[in-house]
Structure 1
């Protein structure tokens, strides 16, 4: 399977506005911030909830009810729901539907990656409007080769959805793969960024593209990489992982306006009080606006 975009990519279905356009509008009107929904056991306990399906449901409903009408993007981490089996997935399905109904864009943090029909099935799960888990965008892993993502890229384009591809992640272990140098002299991460640049250029839609990269906000100076891919840059690491909104210009340089900073515990630790969740999210969004200029 080729690692390059098709010569004539299929256009979006009728009425499907591209994800990149919707994301730009959401960030301009609601603030440039993505809030993760990560109901891990320690956070449930900090909220005074049990680590069970009732606690999961209460936590998730509280976050969605407080923030979905206010923030640009909500990012549920699928694994924290899947660990409860079918009942946990049912909570996730409702969260996705409720968040989108309230106007938030939903980015499913699933980090799926496979080949052929299996990748096509993952794509259908998150990027087909007929699926109960249909989201505005999904995270994927390119480490079976960028071309293995073709089913997700094509389905996203057709349905006006987005794809965020792991490129320069904030975990220290990621460097052993992402910084590896290929035979032509480019790193694996740079190659991923090049592919995404080509995907966004092939769409020829103008404005912000729908194919983004995951680039950690904790990585420091990335001036050796061309982050201008024509699409969004999801930047985890704000808050509990140590990065601050003020760090973004130094990390992302001229691409800072296309950054979607992601914060989870930095907001979620203020729950279960809804007003405190809103206040924390608004403060982060204001700080990002000020830093990005």
Structure 2
């Protein structure tokens, strides 16, 4: 796989060019109402395409949350298809937040739905759940590697119940989250100079857990998709406090903190530029 085809390298280049922000496109009903849009597929389309146009060039990627489109049925999924296609045409990387996780042919089918070039819901990367065993994701890993796509494995999430599973010890007496990180490093194709194409989802509100559980050492080349900034309480100080020496690998995921500046595209673009400066 050439450097140009490697998702980790493309993401690294996007961050170097546009900064670390990832714009979460989360069109939940409250945001649609705040934009004076109807909670319908038409409102969803206006919201999503306006947000894309506003942040293009100011963020490293967009991260649509599939659930907010799926709740509108086939019409909502059609809007998601259009958003992914228009982002691709605009040269904006897409991380589709779908949190897929299954085994065998089912996992392969999920991967084909989102990572196969030409698929209606094609994205540059998707979020996946490794909690059926990290090896259960191998069909997605193989397809991603074959087509220059990426994965982000849920490792340390910010929900209160997450530590019950993620901090637990495996049969090898290592934290589950650290085993997930180790697996991501093994299969992601990263090097000392090039980011892995298999990253981790680590909440910006997990405190010292990222370092204390050993994820920093287990996956040094992994990009870190970090929700929890902005409305959920984390700010620029958490980049170093939570992620230590790997702070430069963090993708700062923001949704409400950015999209609340809408629906005026100029205001959103200005907000994105300010946040980019704050977190760079």
Give the counterpart of 2:99 among 100, 111, 118.
111
TM-score (norm 1): 0.91
Cα distance between partner residues in 1 of 2:192 and 2:260: 39
Instruction: Find the partner of 1:141 among 129, 133, 139.
Output: 129
CA distance in 2, matches of 1:141, 1:226: 17
- Give 1:35's aligned residue: 23
Label 1:205 to 1:130 Cα distance change in 2 as closer, same or farther (>3 A).
farther
Question: 1:223-243 CA deviation, whole Å, 9 max, x = no partner?
Answer: 212324112011111101000
Instruction: Tell me the residue number matched to 1:217.
Output: 204
CA distance in 1, matches of 2:177, 2:191: 24
Deviation at 1:215, TM superposition (A): 0.4
CA RMSD in angstroms comes to 1.5
Q: Report whether the alignment pairs 1:251 with 2:242.
A: yes
Aligned equivalents of 2:171, 2:196: Cα separation in 1:
29
Aligned equivalents of 1:248, 1:16: Cα separation in 2: 28
Give the Cα–Cα distance (whole angstroms) in 2 for the partners of residues 136 and 156 of structure 1: 9
Which residue pairs with 1:54 in the alignment?
A: 42
Matched, 1:274 2:265: yes
What displacement does 1:103 show? 1.8
Greater percentage in helix: 2
1:284 to 264, 275, 279: 275
Which consecutive residues of structure 2, in runs of 5 or more, have no partner in the other structure? none
Match of 1:169 among 157, 168, 187: 157
1:69-218 counterparts in 2 under 5 A? 69-200=57-188, 206-218=193-205
How far has the Cα of 1:16 moved from its partner? 5.9
Whole-angstrom distance in 2 between the partners of 1:30 and 1:183: 42
Contact 1:68/1:100, CA 8 A, preserved across alignment = no
Alpha-carbon offset, residue 185 of structure 1 = 1.3
CA distance in 2, matches of 1:188, 1:149: 15
**What's the TM-score, normalizing by structure 2?**
0.95
Provide closer, same or farther for how the CA distance between residues 145 and 47 of structure 1 changes in structure 2, counting only shifts above 3 A.
same
Question: How far off is 1:17 after superposition?
Answer: 1.2
Q: Secondary structure at the match of 1:183?
A: coil
1:58-78 CA distance string (max 9 Å, x none): 111110111124321100000
Structure 2 equivalent of residue 226 of structure 1: 215
Tell me what 1:6 maps to: none
The corresponding residue for 1:240 is 231
Cα offsets for 1:239-293 (capped at 9, x unmatched): 010000221101000111111110110001111011111111111111111xxxx
Instruction: Give secondary structure in 1 for the equivalent of 2:94.
Output: strand
How far apart, in 2, do the equivalents of 1:273 and 1:29 lie?
24
Q: 1:213–1:233: 8 Å Cα contact kept in structure 2?
A: yes
Task: Give secondary structure in 2 for the equivalent of 1:172.
Answer: coil
**1:120 alignment partner, SS class:** helix
How many matched pairs? 276
Q: Distance in 2 between matches of 1:243 and 1:205?
A: 28
Q: Equivalent residue of 1:237, what SS?
A: coil
CA contact (8 A) 1:245 1:284 kept: no
